[in-house]
Amino acid sequence: MSPDDKAPLRLTFLDLLQCFLRSFFLQAVWNMERYLNYGFAFVLAPALKRLYPVREDRAQALTRHLEYFNTHPYMASFVLGAVLRMEEEKQTLPRPKQKQKEDEINALKVGMMGPIAAMGDNLFWATVRPYCGLLAITLILSQSFAPGTRAWIIPALFLAVFNVAHLGVRGLGFLQGYRQGDQVVLALRKYGFQAAIRGLKLASILLVGVLIVFVNMGELDREVGLFILKLSFFSALVGLFTFALHRKIAPGQLYYAVVLIGLILAYWPELSTPPVLPLEGVK
Amino acid sequence: MEHWIAISLLLGFLSLDATAVGQFMLSRPIAVGALVGLLTGHPEVGLLVGALVELIWIGEVPVGSHLPADLLILAGVATALAGELVQGGAPPEAAMTFAIGTAIPLAILSTELEGLLRRLHVRWAHFAQRMAGSGHFGTFDGVNTFVLLGLFLKGLLTAAASLFIAHLVGKLFRLLPDRAVDGLYYAHWLLLALGCSAAIDLMVEKKTSPFLVLSIVTALTAAFFQIPGVWMVSGALLAGFILTLIYAGKGETA
């Protein structure tokens, strides 16, 4: 009996679960040469063990997945799922066609990693995380939390909201990738990631507006005129700093510039009352 | 510094979350500040330092091989130092400004170290490839554990060293004249402006700037009518949610 006559090997639920759990370690051996190459092979290892019972075949398959790979860690699940399906499909093909499938697998990895990295960076690092961060920051500075009482809820909320999106996309990517194989590329558009980015960016802008008012509200209880004056001064500074950040001056450098401005203000003899900050009672 | 070992261990573990394991955002300043704050008995200082660091560095995004500043060390060390200074009687705003300023160079050093480690990982990746090629699959898998251990140790030692240096620098705070402490106090308010700028720089474009103005005007009106902060945040969230729905609808038809 030739190897081609055997029933094709299939991945079990446990294999897939193992691969999914390993996908959380995708970036562990992030290296400056081939980035996530080890991570990718490490995630697939349990599946390759099932699909390639012969030691040499397994070694060859694992080595094949150690090529350059770099993408967004959460969005990588789409590729991981799809590659698992394609590796499984490869087993159903006669030997001569398997080489072609290997090329297709590589092409999928190379073709998908760039676009999904760009989308993932924009969606998670530049939109969802700042949105969750702004939500938490606004709540912390809203003067509405009484010191010592359940303030831990705010960081917990930050983590919960972010990780619902994070784990949702990881799970969705892995499942849809595995279900659709190489067709997952076409399905990516359906999930409305671009729309979510636009919507959440607007929602974040609203939170920034509220935040700007919050950090100056201490003055409102004292005197309305002073409040307006401080808010105008604050807004002018925000404009100035935004311009500086836009010119690619690092936040760390601006930090020291701001401290310097603070010191100059302190040594300015005419300046009298310090601004009231929402930190009364902080210990 | 009290709890020196405990904070170092905590930061060591959390440093794995930053890139290597999961990325559940436990290593973000908001979470780190809160945890270190709880550990040192200054939960409010932790929250406020976390919020300020998160806000100012909100635009730092890891793209490609770019390594952003190590915000875990920044927030963790700053919270620990600020707590120590507040305990010594310093005004919280000035203490926080001083502590973050102290922690920035330490965070940059930690980032440099991270870069070195990732160059070292090239060797591990080559070793793993040899193991895979020769069929030593157990050793291949073991590389992951070794590298994680190395990353943990790097996080632990960096945190321990940074906390120690910060503690020493913190002693200079007492030498500051009152005026300079006032200056740090003013600077805290100015830093909030820098943070708002960072968020605006990241989020706002020309065509979406009217939303910012609209939001400020609405929040101002709400403030004059003394509507509680939580309600204002809830209002902004609701409006944001509606806007997201509108745009999500548009996205599907486009």
Are the beta carbons of B212 and B200 closer than 8 angstroms? yes
Question: What residues of chain A, 182 to 201, have a C-beta less than 8 Å from chain B?
Answer: 192, 194-196, 198-201
Distance CA A273, CA A269 (A): 11
Q: What is the pLDDT of residue A270?
A: 60
Whether B194 is in a domain gets the answer no
Whether B74 is in a domain gets the answer yes
CB under 8 Å, gap of 24 or more: what pairs does B132-139 form? B132/A41, B132/A59, B132/A62, B132/A63, B132/A66, B133/A59, B133/A63, B134/A59, B135/A55, B135/A56, B135/A58, B135/A59, B137/A45, B137/A49, B137/A58, B137/A59, B137/A62
How many C-beta neighbours within 10 Å does residue B133 have?
Answer: 15
Whether B192 is in a domain gets the answer no
Whether B253 is in a domain gets the answer no
How many domains is chain B partitioned into structurally? 1
pLDDT digits (tens, 9 = 90+) for A148-160: 567 788 999 999 9
Q: Can you read off the two tokens belonging to residue B216? A: 């400020």
pLDDT digits (tens, 9 = 90+) for B44-67: 999 999 999 999 999 988 776 677
Instruction: Give the range among A32-46, A151-165, A265-279, B18-32 with minimum mean pLDDT.
Output: A265-279
Does the beta carbon of A229 lie under 8 angstroms from any beta carbon of chain B? no
| Residue A242's pLDDT band (cuts 50, 70, 90) | very high
Chain A residue numbers with beta carbons less than 8 Å from the beta carbon of B38 are 152
* Residue recorded with tokens 């939500």: A135
Q: Can you read off the two tokens belonging to residue A77? A: 């699940």
Whether B165 is in a domain gets the answer yes
Whether B221 is in a domain gets the answer no
Q: What is the pLDDT of residue A279?
A: 54
Q: Can you read off the two tokens belonging to residue A191? A: 């999930």
Q: Can you read off the two tokens belonging to residue B105? A: 């160079």
Q: Can you give the residue range of the structural domain that contains B14?
A: 4-177
Are the beta carbons of A105 and A80 closer than 8 angstroms? no
> In B153-176, which positions are buried (b, 16+ CB within 10 angstroms) versus exposed (e)?
ebbbebbbbbbebbbebbeebeee
The three-class DSSP label of residue A69 is strand
Predicted model pTM? 0.92
Gap from B91 CA to chain A (nearest CA, Å): 9
Chain A residue numbers with beta carbons less than 8 Å from the beta carbon of B58 are 130, 133-134
- CA dihedral (B10, B104, B113, B23) in degrees, to 10, reads 50
Gap from A45 CA to chain B (nearest CA, Å): 8
Whether B215 is in a domain gets the answer no
Given a cut of 60, is residue A277 above it in pLDDT? no
- Transcribe B84-123 into DSSP letters: HHHHTT--HHHHHHHHHHHHHHHHHHHHHHHHHHHHHHHH
Distance CA A27, CA A76 (A): 10
Q: What is the pLDDT of residue A275?
A: 54
Contact check, Cβ <8 Å, B44/A213 = no
Whether B79 is in a domain gets the answer yes
